[in-house]
């Protein structure tokens, strides 16, 4: 899979490889709920809970710089976030549980998801297709190069933020840079907007609330002696609370409206809600932590801080309680500590075995009669 990465909503060969691999195991019910996703089901002989386990499969538009024999063969595309590792872990888990389904009480569904990296995300598509109907608990993991191999990263409650996007277009009046008094300068207006947006966090967000507002693009102008007609700003809002998301949408426009009107300009504004926040349910998180301790001891558990990154595992959590945890894959000797989305990103493959062990132990603990 690492040699043959595919981008979001293009995972045709990847999903077929996953389907064919699952089919070779035997003992699994397979389906294709969307064109680029796969679901496998193993049913135990006795009734019990239904557990969902999810792995994503898509790659990123990055040219790989690693010189390994398994490096990407697709120019400009690589698995720079570990999704191929997630898929390998879930395939291994499915193979083992399929061989031992006679001992299971309940049902395990394996969700091989497309398009985690690109909004609106494959998770939402799969949920809308009904894959979560009847699921009691859902589990997911993510490799983490910043966490030592063998460590299991645990977060209770809010774990990953909602990644919203805002777009602002300032309509001014262009002219010669030598005569700025004859213009309505969208560059200067944009600079004031950027400065004032910082007040949303520093002065309009509670000290014990968590919110990030970042402007990531500022585009305008074509020459050194021309004040342009327009300028465009693009940025992101990250938070864990739905009320804070709606509040940010309103406050951004208040600032943009006030500044543009004060300088005789106009504006257009768009706020796009991204993935929902990932909120781990405490009782399920305790089982994940317990599973890590049972397998590897208390020293393997790392209580990590929440992340302002986004994850569409949140789509599955809208239908059932669950937990998303981090799986350490950082190893300095193997040079697997490069950050995610870096052209040198790589996986310590020892982590793949640990991930499968975690999924199996979690399944065993969740399916035990209460």
Q: What angle do CA 104, 153, 8 make, to 5 degrees?
A: 80
Q: Does residue 311 carry a catalytic annotation? A: no
> In Å, what is the CA distance from 308 to each residue of 213, 238, 272, 276?
11, 6, 17, 12
The percent of the chain in helix, strand and coil, each rounded to the nearest 5, is: 35, 30, 40
* Residues 291, 310: Cα–Cα separation, whole Å: 25
- Pair of tokens at residue 47: 């009734």
Sign of CA dihedral 55, 152, 355, 50: negative
362: part of which helix (H) or strand (E)?
helix 350-367
> In Å, what is the CA distance from 315 to each residue of 130, 174, 239, 275, 322?
12, 45, 16, 8, 11
Q: Does residue 116 carry a catalytic annotation? A: yes
> In Å, what is the CA distance from 331 to each residue of 2, 298, 339, 343?
19, 20, 12, 17
* Residues 260, 13: Cα–Cα separation, whole Å: 49
Distance of CA 265 to the CA centre of its chain: 37
**110, 23 in Cβ contact below 8 A?**
no
Q: Which of 6, 11, 84, 116 is catalytic?
A: 116
* Residues 125, 139: Cα–Cα separation, whole Å: 18
Distance of CA 127 to the CA centre of its chain: 16
Q: What does 113-154 look like in DSSP terms, one character per residue?
A: E--SSSTT-HHHHHHHTTTTTT-SEEEEEEEEEEEETT-EEE
Q: What does 280-312 look like in DSSP terms, one character per residue?
A: E-HHHHHHHHHHHHHHH-GGGEEEPPPBS---T
Q: Which of 6, 58, 64, 289 is catalytic?
A: 58
Positions annotated as catalytic residues are 58, 116
């Amino acid at each position: 899979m690492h040699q043959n990465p595919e981008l979001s909503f293009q995972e045709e060969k990847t999903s077929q490889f996953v389907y064919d691999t699952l089919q070779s195991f035997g003992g699994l019910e397979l389906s294709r709920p969307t064109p680029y996703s796969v679901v496998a089901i193993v049913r135990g002989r006795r009734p019990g809970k239904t557990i969902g386990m999810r792995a994503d499969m898509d790659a990123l538009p990055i040219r790989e710089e690693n010189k390994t024999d398994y490096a990407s063969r697709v120019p400009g595309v690589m698995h720079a976030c570990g999704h191929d590792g997630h898929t390998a872990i879930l395939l291994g888990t499915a193979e083992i549980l399929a061989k031992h389904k006679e001992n299971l009480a309940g049902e395990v569904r394996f969700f091989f998801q497309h398009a985690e990296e690109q909004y609106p995300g494959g998770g939402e598509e799969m949920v809308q297709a009904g894959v979560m109907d009847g699921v009691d608990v859902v589990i997911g993991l993510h490799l983490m190069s910043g966490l030592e191999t063998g460590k299991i990263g645990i977060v209770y409650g809010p774990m990953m933020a909602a990644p919203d996007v805002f777009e602002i277009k300032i309509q001014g009046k262009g002219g010669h840079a030598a005569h700025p008094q004859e213009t309505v300068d969208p560059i200067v207006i944009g600079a004031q907007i950027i400065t004032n947006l910082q007040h949303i966090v520093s002065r309009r967000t509670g000290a014990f609330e968590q919110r990030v507002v970042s402007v990531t693009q500022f585009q305008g102008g074509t020459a050194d002696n021309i004040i342009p007609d327009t300028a465009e700003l693009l940025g992101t809002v990250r938070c864990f609370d739905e009320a804070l998301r709606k509040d940010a949408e309103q406050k951004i426009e208040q600032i943009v409206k006030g500044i543009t009107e004060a300088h005789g300009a106009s504006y257009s504004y768009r706020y796009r809600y991204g993935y929902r926040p990932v909120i781990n349910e405490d009782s399920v998180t305790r089982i994940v932590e317990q599973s890590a301790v049972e397998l590897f001891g208390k020293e393997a558990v790392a209580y990590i801080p929440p992340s302002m990154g986004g994850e569409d595992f949140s789509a599955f959590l809208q239908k059932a309680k669950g937990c998303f945890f981090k799986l350490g894959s950082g190893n300095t000797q193997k040079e697997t500590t490069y950050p995610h989305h870096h052209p040198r990103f790589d996986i310590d493959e020892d982590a793949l075995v640990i991930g499968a062990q975690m999924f199996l132990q979690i399944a065993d603990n969740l399916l035990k009669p209460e």
